[in-house]
Structure 1
Amino acid sequence: MEKQWFTISVYSENNVGLLNRISGIFLKRHINIESLNVSKSEIDGVSKFTIVVHTTERWTHNIVGQIEKQIEVIKAFYHTDDETIYQESALFKIASALLFDERQIQNIIKENNSQIVTVARDFFVIAKSGRRNEIDEMYDQLKPFGIMQFVRSGRISVSKEEMRITALLNEFYQEK
């Protein structure tokens, strides 16, 4: 089976230690988590983990099954990149002098649809949202000028198809 990118969405109660147990599931199988984001979901009191892995569908299916065995997990899903709409965000800290002395920096900012979020005496910060490859391209363009700091967020994503998690939760809470 061929490896591909999968986005795993995990809906769960917000309990201490769950992230550790979920990451342990990947560790046992020697599968690297390429990206991880945890936030509140569209449902009050329910958290959403967004986990990106590069592996086979069989491994992803097995991992999702193991994740769902965790007591706090309500439901887990996995999708290919074609089945989701996703973004990442990045911040680039660059020396302030370059903003005024290097016209190419201004062109890079404009061409990459990014924005300057702050300017200080010694540095300025550029924000870029987009797909991983778009952020990588901007990184490669800025690297020759010197990047003082760089940070990238985990993937955030929504599925193209309806997830029906609200209906599942209503059933779940009615059974209790």
Structure 2
Amino acid sequence: MEKKWFTISIYSENNIGLLNRISGIFLKRHINIESLNVSKSEIESVSKFTVVVFTEDEVARKIVGQIEKQIEVIKAFYHLDDDTIYQESVIFKIASNLLFDERQIQNIIKDCNATIVTVSRDFFVLAKTGRKHEVDDMYEQLKPFGIMQFVRSGRIAVTKAQMPISVMLSKFKKQQ
């Protein structure tokens, strides 16, 4: 079986300990979580976990099934990258002298559509939002100049197709 990138979306109640149990499901199957983001969702009082893994289709399906057995989980889905629109955000901290002394830094900022967030005497901070390969490319371009600090967010994603969870939950709330 061929491994692929999957984005797993988990809609749940916001309860203590759920993240630990969800990560345990991946641990038991020896699946590395490449990216994790948790936030409120489009549905009031419902949280959305966005988990990115590199695995086989059958394994992704089984993981989603196990996740849905957790009592606080309302519904879980898995999608291939082609089925989602996703972004990541990064912040780079770089020595200030490079901004003025290295013309190539200014070209990288422009070519990568990055934003200068702040400039101080000792450092400046760049922000970039994009797909994984765009962020990786910018990192590789800046690496030779020396990156003082680097941080990357987890993937945030929406599906191209309508998510049935919103309709399902709105009907559920009307019944209450």
Structure 2 length-normalised TM: 0.97
Shifted more, 41-50 versus 163-172: the winner is 163-172
Q: Distance in 1 between matches of 2:66 and 2:175?
A: 22
- Structure 2 distance, partners of 1:118, 1:65, is 45
Equivalent runs, 1:48-67 vs 2, <5 Å: 48-67=48-67
Residue of structure 2 in register with 1:93 after alignment: 93
Is 2:30 the counterpart of 1:30?
Answer: yes
- Between the aligned partners of 2:173 and 2:68, the Cα distance in structure 1 is 17
- Once the two structures are TM-superposed, the CA of residue 174 in structure 1 deviates from its matched residue by 5.7
Matches within 5 A, 1:1-176: 1-173=1-173
Q: Distance in 1 between matches of 2:172 and 2:9?
A: 18
Cα deviation code 1:70-117 (max 9, x no counterpart)? 000000001000000000000000000000111110000000000100
Task: Describe the SS at the equivalent of 1:127.
Answer: strand
5+ residue gaps, structure 1, are none
In the TM superposition, residue 127 of structure 1 has moved relative to its aligned partner by 0.3
**Pairwise CA distance, 1:141:** 0.5
Amino acid paired to 1:27? L
Any stretches of 5+ residues in structure 2 without a counterpart?
none
Shift of 1:175: 6.3
Secondary structure at 1:23 match in 2: helix
CA distance in 2, matches of 1:49, 1:154: 10
Which is worse superposed, 166-175 or 131-140?
166-175
The percentage of counterpart residues that share the same residue type is 74
Alpha-carbon distance between aligned partners in 2 of 1:170 and 1:6, rounded to the nearest angstrom: 27
Find the aligned partners of 2:43 and 2:170 in 1 and give their Cα distance.
Answer: 11
